[in-house]
Amino acid sequence: MNYQGSAKELLESTNISIGDTIKVIKKDISYEGMLLDRAEDADDKHLVLKMDSGYNIGIEISEASLELIKKGEKPKIELAALDIEKDMEKPDISIISTGGTVASIIDYKTGAVHPAFTADDLLRANPELLDQANIKGKAIFNILSENMKPEYWVKAAHSIADEINNGADGVVVAHGTDTMHYTAAALSFILESPVPVVLTGAQRSSDRPSSDAFLNLINSVAAAKSDMAEVMVCMHATNDDSACLLHQGTKVRKMHTSRRDTFRSINTQPLARIENGRMEILDAEKTYKKRGSFELKVNDNIEPNVAFIKSFPGIETDIIDYHLDKGVKGILLEGTGLGHCPDHMVPALERATDSNVPVVMTSQCMYGKINMNVYSTGRRLLNAGVIPGGDMLPETAFVKLIWALGQSDKLEEVKNIMLTNIAGEMEEKSSLDHFLL
């Protein structure tokens, strides 16, 4: 029960609990209905009643008295276990859930939304998935994606590897959208996979009839069956519930706070478009790892102690000094334009590289490649040892630096890794096609 303070006292003194049918009597009115719980962050001056009409109202309790009409039963949602026979003709796809709700069950009696995490729940809500594949589901965390940490990337990578070792022909990872592109990049570096690994999520929660979860999920399963053994993100292509885009895990970003088509490929074309289970390659020249061309490998050493700093007008050097003093192991800069930060930062960045802390430059423009040879500030930064991040997205470069520092503690080697394309995160050539897709 979330009731607090005076509301809690009143309920305890009258021995009334959630689910009971009660009468609330006030000077000028009385209401009858079922007592519901109240949001944790709401005040303690109101009780929530669900009326016969289905409406909830809040009743101010300072001069109210309560009368119990009927003790309520605890509503429990029990769904029979599913008994699904394996179809030997179909591929085996594992769906791993990291949090958020893959399905929701609504109890209209109380209006409660019960988040559902299990594979059975997922299949009950989306039975069409079974037409595509044998689906095995597993919940590995239950966290909101803003609470994701680098350690969890490693854990997720191992869970995916377990599924592959157990015979999965492809793995779908259900993930909150806020940091999905960080996880996608991380898995791209940590995992070498012989099968597709597809991250997906929803911008509209699964308790709504209009949720985008289903289309994303069914197309992700189609992608997981394909021969693209890449780590990818599969989300809505447009506002329409008709097709999804399949993005390279290292070159994708959440670009809109709320739209369904929020995930966009940056500095590259999406790998494919999927509609009704059919996959269409968008750029025939773009190469990808084919199914089975690599052995499963987990390179899971990481060093999460990396600072992610954005340059801005008026930035002071003490922000760099602070991180160095705290013992940071790497600094990812999100510079301006072609890869700049103010001149006066140069000595502090020199101090970083002198103390074996790599500094990597990317651009807050997001689109385009950095080039630090054009202006004197850039050249000075290069001379100070700043590593140019090419056309890498700042978030991808941040994740890559964490991973690179896990691979080696030698500055030169880390620099080498950062300058080498490992998982499609860098492209040498910038095409005219690659802007605002």
Partner 1 sequence: MDWDQLGLKMGLEIHQQLDSKSKLFCPCSCNLTDKEVEYEILRNLRPTQSELGKIDRAAFEEARRKLQFKYQAYSHETCLVEADEEPPHPLNEEALELASIIASLLNMRIVDEFHTMRKQVIDGSNTGGFQRTGLVATDGFLETPHGTVKIENLCLEEDAARRIETNQDGVTFRLDRLGIPLVEITTDPSIHHPEQVKEVAYMIGQVLRSTRVKRGLGTIRQDLNISIKEGARVEIKGVQDLDLMPEMVEREVQRQIKLVEIKKELKDRHANIPDKIYDVNEIFAETTSKIIASAPCVMAIKLEGFNGLVGIELQPGRRLGTEFSSYAKKLGVSGIFHTDELPAYGITEEEVIRLREFTQASENDAVIIVAHEKDIAFAALEEVQRRARMALDGVVEETRKALPDGNSEYLRPLPTSSRMYLETDIPLFAIDRDYVEKIRSNLPELPQEKKERIIKEYGLSDDLAGQLVRRNKVEDFEEILSQIKVDKTVVASLLAYSLRELKREGHNMDALDLEVIKDVLVLLEEGKVSKDALSEIIGHVADHGVTPLEAAQSLSLTLLSEDDVAKIIEEIVTKNEDMIKERGMGAMGPLMGMAMKELKGKADGKLVNTLLRENIQKIV
DSSP of 23-62: EEE-SS-EEEEEEE---TTS-SSEEEEE-TTS-EEEEE-T
Distance, CA of 375 to CA of 356 (rounded, Å): 26
Q: Considering the complex, what minimum distance in angstroms separates the CB of residue 87 from partner 1? A: 15
Contact status, residue 48 vs residue 10, Cβ threshold 8 Å: no
Judged by CB, which is closer to partner 1: 1, or 82? 82
What the block records as the tokens of 206 is 């699964």
Judged by CB, which is closer to partner 1: 13, or 108? 108
Positions that interact with partner 1 (CB under 8 A): 28-29, 31, 39, 42-43, 45-46, 48, 51, 53-60, 75, 77, 79-80, 82, 103-109, 111-113, 123-125, 127-128, 203-204, 206-211, 214-215, 239-242, 257-260
Q: Considering the complex, what minimum distance in angstroms separates the CB of residue 255 from partner 1? A: 13
Judged by CB, which is closer to partner 1: 244, or 332? 244
Q: Considering the complex, what minimum distance in angstroms separates the CB of residue 278 from partner 1? A: 17
Per-residue buried b or exposed e for 348-378, using 16+ beta carbons within 10 Å of the residue's own CB: bbbbbbeeebbbbbbbeebebbbebeeeebb
Q: Considering the complex, what minimum distance in angstroms separates the CB of residue 260 from partner 1? A: 6
- The DSSP H or E segment spanning 106 is strand 103-107
How many residues in total does the chain contain? 437
Helix, strand or coil for residue 280? strand
Provide the CA 146 distance to its chain's centre, in angstroms.
7
Judged by CB, which is closer to partner 1: 216, or 250? 216
First vs last C-alpha separation in the chain: 47
Per-residue buried b or exposed e for 247-276, using 16+ beta carbons within 10 Å of the residue's own CB: bbbbbbbbbeeeebbbbbbbbbbbbbbbee
Q: Which amino acid is at 28?
A: D
Judged by CB, which is closer to partner 1: 36, or 315? 36
C-alpha radius of gyration, the chain, whole number: 26
Judged by CB, which is closer to partner 1: 43, or 412? 43
What's the DSSP call for residue 74? Answer: P
What the block records as the tokens of 170 is 């492809």
Judged by CB, which is closer to partner 1: 79, or 374? 79
Contact status, residue 279 vs residue 273, Cβ threshold 8 Å: yes
In 3D space, the residue among 135, 163, 148, 134 whose CA is nearest the CA of residue 98 turns out to be: 148
Active-site residue list = 101, 177-178, 254
Q: Considering the complex, what minimum distance in angstroms separates the CB of residue 77 from partner 1? A: 6
What the block records as the tokens of 241 is 């519930």
Q: Considering the complex, what minimum distance in angstroms separates the CB of residue 305 from partner 1? A: 35
Judged by CB, which is closer to partner 1: 104, or 353? 104
Distance, CA of 393 to CA of 261 (rounded, Å): 19
Q: Considering the complex, what minimum distance in angstroms separates the CB of residue 219 from partner 1? A: 13
Q: Considering the complex, what minimum distance in angstroms separates the CB of residue 31 from partner 1? A: 8
Distance, CA of 89 to CA of 198 (rounded, Å): 22
3-state secondary structure 217-270: HHHHHHHHCCCECCEEEEEECCCCCCEEEEEECCCEEECCCCCCCCEEECCCCC
Backbone angles phi, psi at 245, to 5 degrees: -110, 145
